[in-house]
Amino acid sequence: MTAERAFTLLEILVSLSISMVLVGLAWSGFTQLRTVAQRNSAAAVQAMEAGTLYRRIEQDVSATVPGVQMRVETTALGAAYGGARALRLIAMRELASSNPGENQDVVTGFTEHPLGAVWYCWEWRPPTLQEIADAAASGRKAPGSLWHGSSSASKRSHDFLVNRFKGDGTLQSGMPGWTTFRQQAAFRRSRLRVDLDDNDLRLTEGWHDGAQNGQDRADYATKPVRVDGDRTDLMREMGVAATGVLSCSIGWIDHQGYITRATDQGVAVSDPSGTAVAHPGLAHWNGEIRIVDGLWRDGRGSGTADAHPGDPRSAPDEGDISLPSGRRQDSQQARPAIVFVSFVLYDRQSGSETPFTFSMQAALELPAQGNL
């Protein structure tokens, strides 16, 4: 009778070792496939999100009012952000839709139409210090976010019958009992109009503290007349458009090839050869902001010198823009021809980073008669 041969301990250990190696290889391959699948899925989602953002930004840029200034700016945020900078693109666009009871055509005169354009803003905000710390604790990066807002035509286009009486009911000296105040967004052509809140009623002189209520002639409701300016109204309407935006830059190429770019480091300008152009340190052009004029109604590139450049009520005809080496630009040459937005989308799950850059044509057109 032949004795049956059993596996030795050594053979069993060798078999187990080989099995473990095969399982490890299979698991490694599975993990790699899963990572690739996650990255591909994240890339597809990011491409869709980027396409949506492009269409939304292009909708604003394509409807930008040519007779109104355009600006990029960087703003240092509060302590929660550690002094990091947000960057913004701000301009005015025509309204393309009609709401019941509101004519939203291009403005040709306030007596004929209500306000037909609103300010818009695209803003990138960096992560807070707390978000950075939380991400670092989990071995991830902390992305920022992209925000969008536009002022409201319905809020900014009203006539008020204003009560000019004092709080004790007596008539303010030298003032009529009632007057009409017209609230609307300001169409600023000049780059010297730096303050978007310069139509804040709190800057109006001669108003008594008790005369702060007016009757809205649109709905006859009593409302406070101490209204905010355009910037405050615009910033109040800001909302999140996208999260997971790791970095961003916004800017334009003008009709002479000069590039203006805003990043989290500030605003920089370069000439067509790529050489940096030193900013003049003015309120409308420095390391934190660049504002260019809107176009003239009659097609002029520039005007005569402004006798009162500090007065927002004076005619915005301050003339050409001086550049280094004696070069000059008129308002048409300095106006953006191409607006571009670059950003990196970050997927927290897969850790993938996908850069996107979009450019949009900014049409050079003569503004309508009422767009100044």
Tens-place pLDDT, residues 29-86: 666 766 667 777 888 888 999 999 999 999 999 989 888 899 999 999 999 999 999 9
pLDDT at 303: 46
Tokens in use for 77? Answer: 């945020």
Q: What are the tens digits of pLDDT across the range 160-208?
A: 666 555 555 555 555 555 566 666 677 788 888 899 887 766 545 445 5
How far apart are the C-alpha atoms of 89 and 327, rounded to whole Å? 26
pTM for this predicted structure = 0.75
Residue 232 one-letter amino acid = T
- Comparing 263 with 178, which gets the higher pLDDT? 263
Determine what percent of the chain is predicted with pLDDT higher than 90. 37
CA distance 263 to 342: 10
* Tokens coding 136: 């670092």
Q: Which residues contact 307 (CB under 8 A, 6 or more apart)?
A: 314
Which of 252-256, 260-264, 344-348 tops mean pLDDT? 260-264
**What pLDDT, on the 0 to 100 scale, is given for residue 183?**
61
3-state helix, strand, coil in the chain (%, to 5): 25, 30, 45
Q: Where are the alpha helices (DSSP H) in 101-250?
A: 129-137, 153-156, 230-236
Mean pLDDT calculated for residue range 133-162? 82
CB 310 within 8 A of CB 316: no
**DSSP string for 296-317:** PTT--S--SPPS-TT-TTS---
Taking the C-alpha atoms of residue 197 and residue 104, their distance in angstroms, rounded to an integer, is: 23
What's the burial of 234, exposed, middle or buried (CB within 10 Å: 0-12/13-18/19+)?
buried
318 near 282, Cβ under 8 Å? no
Q: Between 195 and 158, whose confidence is greater?
A: 195
pLDDT tens-place string over residues 315-352: 434 556 777 777 777 778 888 999 999 999 999 888 88
Of 109, 53, 28, 9, which is closest to residue 248 (Cα–Cα)? 53
φ, ψ of residue 163 in degrees (nearest 5): -80, 115
Match 């934190």 to its residue by tokens. Answer: 288
Residue 372 — very low, low, confident or very high, per pLDDT cuts 50/70/90?
very low
Overall average pLDDT of the 216-227 stretch: 61
Closest CA to 342 of 72, 63, 92, 37: 72
Q: What is the arithmetic mean of pLDDT over 4-29?
A: 75
Kindly give the pairing relationship between strand 239-254 and strand 328-329. Answer: unpaired
Which residue type, as a one-letter code, is found at position 75? T
Burial 20-57 (b: 16+ CB within 10 A, else e): eeeeeeeeeeeeeeeeeeebeebeeebeebbeebbeeb
Cβ neighbour number for residue 66 with a 10 Å cutoff: 23
Of the chain, the end-to-end C-alpha distance in Å amounts to: 113
Question: 285, 156, 283: which is closest to 218 by C-alpha?
Answer: 156
Nearest CA to 249 out of 320, 168, 355 is that of 355
How many Cβ atoms sit within 10 Å of the Cβ of residue 261? 20
Tally: H helices and E strands in the chain: 5, 17
Handedness of CA 148, 154, 339, 267 (dihedral sign): negative
**Measured distance CA(31)–CA(26) in Å, rounded:** 9
Question: pLDDT band at 153, cuts 50/70/90?
Answer: low
Please report where in the chains the tokens 């108003």 appear, as a residue: 207
